Structure 1
């Protein structure tokens, strides 16, 4: 699969809520660099992250655009993320089924036809304003 096909499969699984399919696309030593928070190492840590996110949020990727380098070792995605805040997440504002929309950029390292690094970037202040107002 090309880098773009791998990312399309990853976000397709995301939109279906299919964590197992997402995890199949990752290397065992995947590195997850969230926009805020600590870096996670390994597929098990990423699986825990997905479980947490699925409890607290219902999200959908809209209109993703994928880019990759000529060798297919690095790639990026830009998309609109639409979501519902389902369950209060730690010290964040209380969840009351607030809807939100964010522009997200994600960067990937690919190795052996799998995702070895995921770095997500979005505007947390914008998200906080949306869920606080909602």
Structure 2
């Protein structure tokens, strides 16, 4: 499957909350580079991250625009995160189901037809402002 199709399927699974579908598209040594903090390497750490996110946030992505490069090794996607902050995280504001709409982007790398890198970017100070209002 071309990288663009894999990337689109990954985000379709995200919006469907089909975590197993998402995991099925990942390389065993996937490198997840979050906006904040240390990278996570491997499926087990990524699964733990997804479990944590599912407990703390309810998110749907809209307005997705995908960009590819000629070698079919990388895909970038720009999107809007439409979320609800369900459970507080250490060092962040208290959670009481605040809604937020936040622009974000991700860069995906591919190895052997699977997603081997996910790098995510968003404006954390803006998100804090949105859930603090």
In structure 2, the partner of 1:29 is 29
Number of the residue aligned with 1:10: 10
How many Å apart are 1:92 and its aligned residue? 1.0
Deviation at 1:8, TM superposition (A): 0.8
Match for residue 42 of structure 1? 42
Unaligned runs of 5+ in 1: none
TM-score (norm 2): 0.97
Moved over 2 A (4+): none
Match of 2:64 in 1: 64
TM-score (structure 1 length as normaliser): 0.97
Deviation at 1:109, TM superposition (A): 0.6
Following the alignment from structure 1 to structure 2, what is the Cα–Cα distance between the partners of residues 44 and 4? Answer: 25
Q: What is aligned with 1:52?
A: 52
Cα shift at 1:90: 2.0
CA RMSD of aligned residues (A): 0.7
Structure 2 residues not aligned, in runs of 5+: none
Q: What is the Cα deviation at residue 15 of structure 1?
A: 0.4
Partner of 2:107: 107
Partner-residue secondary structure (3-state), 2:38: coil
